[in-house]
Structure formats: structure tokens, C-alpha cells
């Protein structure tokens, strides 16, 4: 699985359109096993959903996203996750927790 995070270096901006980078995290069995960062430079914000999808992301974590970008991602099968975390790796862990533990109805204290 690949989770993309819209970021500015080691921080997540308020809006997906304001991101300067996309960091792609490879996840295997719930563990982050690798990452790579793609600088966005002057890449147009309306084409960013296509970039996220074409680079193999299953999900995108960001703080907030415009309706058009969200619809474009979801149309391509990329889940959009609105993260609360400040840094990209924490956003991925937050997504994994929500996507897998919460969807199974498990309570966190039952796992400890």
C-alpha cells in the first residue's frame, strides 16, 4: 500500500493546494517501510490528483482539500484522509489507525 501526504517539508499545510511536496510512504502490514518525496515546484494544483494517482497512491493524507481535487482522487480510487497530525509520518500512522483499527471496531485498549 502507498499513502501520499501533502506536505511542506516536515509539516502538513492547511490546504492540499498549498503543498510544496508530496511524500509517498510505502506501507507493508501496517509498518512504514520506505518513503520518497516529490517536490511539486510549479506543478499546477488542478493536476495534482492525477500525479498522486499516477505515482501509485492508495490514499492521500492532507489537512483539507478542495471539492474538485477530492472528487478527482476518489473517482480514481484514491481515498482522501483528513489528517490532524502536524508531520507526514504521523499522518500516515493516524491514517493506518483509522483505516484498519477503527474499521474493524477494535478498541485501542484491547490491543495493549
- Splitting the chain (112 residues) into consecutive groups of 10 residues, what average pLDDT does each group show? 96 96 95 95 91 97 97 97 96 92 51 40
Q: Are strands 31-39 and 21-28 parallel, antiparallel or unpaired?
A: antiparallel
CA neighbours within 13 Å on the CB side: how many for 16?
Answer: 25
pLDDT of residue 102: 66
What pTM did the predictor assign? 0.87
**Lookup: cell for 97:** 489507525
pLDDT of residue 45: 86
**Lookup: cell for 19:** 503543498
pLDDT of residue 106: 46
Amino acid at each position: 500500500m502507498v499513502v501520499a501526504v501533502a506536505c511542506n517539508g516536515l509539516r502538513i499545510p492547511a490546504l492540499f493546494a498549498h503543498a510544496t511536496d508530496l511524500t509517498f510512504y510505502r506501507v507493508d502490514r501496517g509498518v512504514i517501510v520506505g518513503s520518497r518525496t516529490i517536490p511539486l515546484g510549479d506543478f499546477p494544483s488542478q493536476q495534482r490528483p492525477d500525479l498522486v494517482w499516477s505515482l501509485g497512491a492508495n490514499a492521500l493524507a492532507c489537512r483539507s482539500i478542495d471539492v474538485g481535487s477530492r472528487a478527482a482522487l476518489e473517482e480514481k480510487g484514491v481515498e482522501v484522509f483528513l489528517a490532524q497530525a502536524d508531520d507526514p509520518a504521523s499522518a500516515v500512522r493516524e491514517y493506518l489507525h483509522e483505516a484498519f483499527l477503527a474499521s474493524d471496531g477494535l478498541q485501542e485498549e484491547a490491543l495493549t
